[in-house]
Structure 1
Amino acid sequence: MWPFAAAQLRVFFCLLYPANIISLWWAVGSPLVMDPNSICRKAKRLAGRQAELCQTQPEIVSEVAKGARLGIRECQHQFRFRKWNCTTHKKYFSKILQQDIRETAFVSAVTSAGVLYTVSQACSMGELLQCGCERTLNRVPLPRSPTPGTEATAWEWGGCGDDVEFGYAKSKQFMDAERKQGQNDIKSLINLHNNEAGRLIIKNYMRTVCKCHGLSGSCAVKTCWKKMPHFREVGDRLLDRFNGAFKVMGGNDGKTLIPVGHNIKQPDKQDLIYSAESPDFCLPNRRTGSPGTRGRVCNGTALDVSGCDLLCCGRGHREETVSFQENCQCRFHWCCVVQCRQCAVRKELSICM
């Protein structure tokens, strides 16, 4: 039986496409194909802590599903120019999730981060009864920060900070369920590490947002609170970690992971890790989950991963002209309508052979 780590991600894959529940069941090989509204009705097939969450806080499970979608959308953005473009095609995605490769590490991390993000955001927006704004009672007030030639400005914590501790706990509860099943195999250890890396990319990069208070627009007092980084920034940081991911192997004790290679430092908690090399993704291969790159749009002048030489794997490319309609000559009419014409546009595209 596959480790629960892969099964968990297959659940999230299915949450992305609730309309195709029946047709996707066989593709992912799991009875957990369901939408957020029905996932809790199958709680007996989930791990203990997940079943508990379903039974007692189903509204949080809905935010978990939103986090899954957010994570996959960010994955598709970050990999849009790569040979593997984070496709969720039913023939390929589940095969990717069964492997301990770099790509799966990124999916685990960005999905775990997405769950933390949506749950924390729902707390701040007052959409969940179990949580709200971040508590600031125990915070040490910020010091006065005088600017040369001006009076000191008083700082104090206030506003509505994001309660990432609550989001972190719920992401951990749902994503790390295999920990409670006593699994210490390398797949589970890698998955747990990458889940945590995704959460820490949010937790360790919180930003401070401030608002001025005072007469006539002065800034005699500032109220500050902590907000999560924009999720695009989370994706960018995780892509950097993907590019520098560590290959590991299991230690003799079955509980540790050891970096492969000489003079390799131990990965830290925010690094992504994997144990198997990725397929080249050049040709379709249902066994490895590779859809191939034939028919992909490439950049004929770029020298990076989006360039035709790399993306087309040396097979060459063809030029193709496409025509489409887009808005043009838009005008604003008082009040308050924008009217546009539809203009025909022709564009030259480079397509992988």
Structure 2
Amino acid sequence: MFQHVIRAVGSPLVMDPNSICRKSRRLAGKQREICRKEIEIVEEVANGAKIALAECQYQFRHRKWNCTTAKRSLDRVIRQDTRESAFVYGITAAGVVYSVTEACNMGHLLQCTCDNHVQDITTDGEWEWGGCGDNVEYGYKKSKEFMDARKKKRRGDLTTRIQLHNNDAGRLTVKNHMRTECKCHGLSGSCTLKTCWRKMPIFRHVGFILKQKFDGAIQVQSSNDGKRLETVIDTLKPPAKADIVYSEKSPLFCKRNRKIGSLGTKGRECVPDSMGVGGCDLLCCQRGYSTHKMTIRDNCKCRFIWCCDVRCETCMREKTIYRCL
């Protein structure tokens, strides 16, 4: 779970709603208002941050930087304007959109309803808009109000502009990838007519898209007038709203460096014969790896007993573990 509120409320390190609102003197005006009038929204901010952290750790599980929160390393990572901090801001803003929208549709938030508006899209006559769609506009609005509130006072600052941009890139990743779900109507399931509505993408898909954006992130700098972001390389087109952007090159994350939040890769499990990101050559930064054999107890020779039981034997097997030196 993300740590307590660290460094700034409204940063990705938002976890416990009660802790957030106890520090209300530090909150920006809109955040303070939400704490006072809509504590249930703050709970969804915390829930959104939790699912964002889990997704971040899944997407980077084989990378040198694996989105760990150990020893407050993530707090130090997000103090830099690197690709890694860009991903954290983006996935957290997306998580808040997702959590608020889901709570709205489940009826947990009395101030909103699911989206039952007819979509401005022509159907083929064999189906029609109906049902109760995901109210992503409400989730987007609340994510923006809370996540961006503290940043608005310093819009001319490059770091602030980058964080606001990546927050919105995360929100747009949810909003721009809504999917259509349908239910069939007709005798014996003949599906002579379908009713359709809009649903959010699976959050794993959101994480996957943002990970792709991380891999293709664009290095930016402030324009001469300080009003916009422009690419460091003149030949590249300006970043789109849904792109992930950064200004500082990432550290290697090979060795422990407390200042930048790197815990190093010593002791990380790796795959010896893989050339990919989880392979021992890359993950261990050419330092080599150790080999350990361990015995694992597993269920085996399972059989179904009528009715209704499954019985298994216990088998012992040997597994080889490879860890970076």
How does the TM-score come out when normalised to structure 2? Answer: 0.92
**Superposition deviation, residue 337 in structure 1:** 5.1
1:352 and 2:324 are equivalent in the alignment: yes
* Structure 1 equivalent of residue 71 of structure 2: 90
1:40 and 2:41 are equivalent in the alignment: no
1:116 and 2:97 are equivalent in the alignment: yes
| Unaligned 5+ runs, structure 1 | 16-34, 145-153
* Structure 1 equivalent of residue 45 of structure 2: 64
Query: Which of 50, 54, 59 is matched with 1:78 structurally?
Result: 59
| Equivalent-residue separation in structure 2 for 1:333 and 1:141 (angstroms) | 54
**Superposition deviation, residue 346 in structure 1:** 2.4
Query: Which of 243, 252, 257 is matched with 2:229 structurally?
Result: 257
Q: 1:240 to 1:6 in 2, by over 3 A?
A: farther
1:224 and 2:196 are equivalent in the alignment: yes
**Superposition deviation, residue 86 in structure 1:** 0.5
| Unaligned 5+ runs, structure 2 | none
**Superposition deviation, residue 62 in structure 1:** 0.6
Amino acid of the residue matched to residue 273 of structure 1? Answer: V
**Superposition deviation, residue 326 in structure 1:** 3.7
Given that 1:49 and 1:173 are in contact with CA atoms closer than 8 Å, whether structure 2 keeps it comes out as yes
**Superposition deviation, residue 109 in structure 1:** 0.4
Given that 1:120 and 1:163 are in contact with CA atoms closer than 8 Å, whether structure 2 keeps it comes out as yes
Larger deviation, residues 285-294 vs 42-51: 42-51
Given that 2:221 and 2:229 are in contact with CA atoms closer than 8 Å, whether structure 1 keeps it comes out as yes
Q: How does 1:167-246 map to 2 (within 5 A)?
A: 167-246=139-218
**Superposition deviation, residue 270 in structure 1:** 1.1
**Superposition deviation, residue 160 in structure 1:** 1.9
**Superposition deviation, residue 302 in structure 1:** 1.0
Equivalent pairs counted in the alignment come to: 321
Q: 1:292 to 1:210 in 2, by over 3 A?
A: same
| Equivalent-residue separation in structure 2 for 1:140 and 1:38 (angstroms) | 44
SS state at 2:76 partner: helix
Amino acid of the residue matched to residue 45 of structure 2? Answer: V
| Equivalent-residue separation in structure 2 for 1:157 and 1:244 (angstroms) | 36
Q: Deviations over 1:165-204 (max 9, x none)?
A: 0000011011111343243200000000000001111111
* Structure 2 equivalent of residue 305 of structure 1: 277
SS state at 1:349 partner: strand
Q: Deviations over 1:239-265 (max 9, x none)?
A: 110001000111121221110113111
Query: Which of 110, 117, 133 is matched with 1:136 structurally?
Result: 117
| Equivalent-residue separation in structure 2 for 1:225 and 1:185 (angstroms) | 41
* Structure 2 equivalent of residue 23 of structure 1: none
Q: Deviations over 1:56-90 (max 9, x none)?
A: 11111111101001111100000000000001113
| Equivalent-residue separation in structure 1 for 2:108 and 2:94 (angstroms) | 19
Amino acid of the residue matched to residue 259 of structure 1? Answer: T
Larger deviation, residues 78-87 vs 128-137: 128-137
* Structure 2 equivalent of residue 13 of structure 1: 13
Q: 1:240 to 1:333 in 2, by over 3 A?
A: same
Q: 1:105 to 1:183 in 2, by over 3 A?
A: same
Q: 1:326 to 1:181 in 2, by over 3 A?
A: farther
Given that 2:82 and 2:250 are in contact with CA atoms closer than 8 Å, whether structure 1 keeps it comes out as yes
Q: 1:163 to 1:329 in 2, by over 3 A?
A: farther
Q: 1:66 to 1:332 in 2, by over 3 A?
A: farther
* Structure 1 equivalent of residue 35 of structure 2: 54
**Superposition deviation, residue 206 in structure 1:** 0.5
Amino acid of the residue matched to residue 252 of structure 1? Answer: N
Given that 1:82 and 1:305 are in contact with CA atoms closer than 8 Å, whether structure 2 keeps it comes out as yes
Given that 1:139 and 1:157 are in contact with CA atoms closer than 8 Å, whether structure 2 keeps it comes out as no
| Equivalent-residue separation in structure 2 for 1:13 and 1:333 (angstroms) | 50
Given that 1:5 and 1:188 are in contact with CA atoms closer than 8 Å, whether structure 2 keeps it comes out as no
SS state at 2:23 partner: helix
**Superposition deviation, residue 323 in structure 1:** 2.9
